[in-house]
């Protein structure tokens, strides 16, 4: 069986403590927010794909991202057909809420580094047994910052992206616990959050 990995995130997320998620906002609004994120220095953007409109938005943002040297991925990838749709729309990687080996392998074989979701030691162990080192901890706000310290003991090679309930008020706490990247979503709809996110980036 083909050996898989997602070490591409070593480069994709290197020095990038924040990632933006824009869910169900349509192409126009997603582009506006993506450019806003890029202007703040948040180079990596994820667009969940749960409808045809989401795929159109992904294609538009991915095209704009390529023109500006930004990285755009597809989120909520829970089936092999979603991997195919993500690739067709120009995504650079896939993100899933859970761990599904079929989705992971399809993504890797399509040239899209997979970032599967985990929430337990069992899932972390299973993902790493497949060859994955970068994992999405979801829902991070419910798992809590201490979860990451607990996982670092048995799984020192694991690199986590914290997703779910993240914003400027708690991102720093998770980063301080060893999280490599924090993914924020609705914070971009709140003007008061933007200066705080910019300040957080300036500290890194």
The first and second tokens of residue 8, run together, are 């591409």
Of all residues in the chain, the percent with pLDDT exceeding 90 is: 88
pLDDT-derived band at 1 (thresholds 50, 70, 90) equals low
Q: What is the pLDDT of residues 79-105, one digit of tens each?
A: 999 999 999 999 999 999 999 999 999
Average pLDDT, integer, range 11-29: 96
Question: What DSSP element (H or E) covers 181?
Answer: strand 181-184
Question: What DSSP element (H or E) covers 28?
Answer: helix 26-40
Q: What is the pLDDT of residues 29-70, one digit of tens each?
A: 999 999 999 999 999 999 999 999 999 999 999 999 999 999
At 6 the three-state DSSP class reads coil
Catalogue the active-site residues.
46, 136
pLDDT given for residue 97 in this prediction: 98
Q: What is the pLDDT of residues 124-141, one digit of tens each?
A: 999 999 999 999 999 999
Instruction: Look over the chain and give the mean of its residue pLDDT values, rounded to a whole number.
Output: 95
Please report the DSSP string for 125-179 in residue order. HHHHHHT--EEEETTHHHH-HHHHHHHHTT-TT-EEEEESS--TTTHHHHHHTT-
The first and second tokens of residue 113, run together, are 């580094």
Q: What's the whole-model pTM score?
A: 0.95
């Amino acid at each position: 069986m083909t050996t898989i990995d997602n070490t591409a995130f070593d480069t994709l997320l290197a020095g990038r403590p924040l990632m933006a998620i824009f869910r169900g906002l349509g192409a126009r609004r997603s582009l506006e927010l993506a450019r806003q994120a890029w202007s703040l220095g948040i180079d990596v953007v994820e667009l969940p794909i749960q409808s045809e409109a989401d795929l159109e938005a992904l294609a538009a943002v991915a095209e704009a991202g390529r023109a500006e040297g930004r990285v755009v991925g597809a989120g909520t990838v829970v089936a092999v057909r979603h991997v195919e749709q993500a690739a067709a729309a120009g995504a650079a990687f896939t993100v899933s809420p859970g761990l599904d080996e079929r989705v992971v392998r399809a993504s890797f074989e399509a040239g899209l580094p997979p970032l599967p979701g985990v929430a337990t030691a069992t899932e972390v162990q299973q993902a790493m047994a497949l060859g994955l080192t970068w994992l999405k901890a979801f829902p991070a706000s419910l798992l809590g910052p201490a979860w990451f310290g607990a996982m670092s003991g048995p799984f020192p090679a694991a690199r986590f992206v914290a997703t779910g309930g993240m914003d400027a008020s708690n991102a720093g706490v998770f980063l301080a616990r060893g999280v490599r990247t924090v993914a924020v979503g609705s914070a971009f709809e709140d003007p008061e959050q933007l200066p705080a996110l910019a300040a957080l980036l300036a500290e890194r």
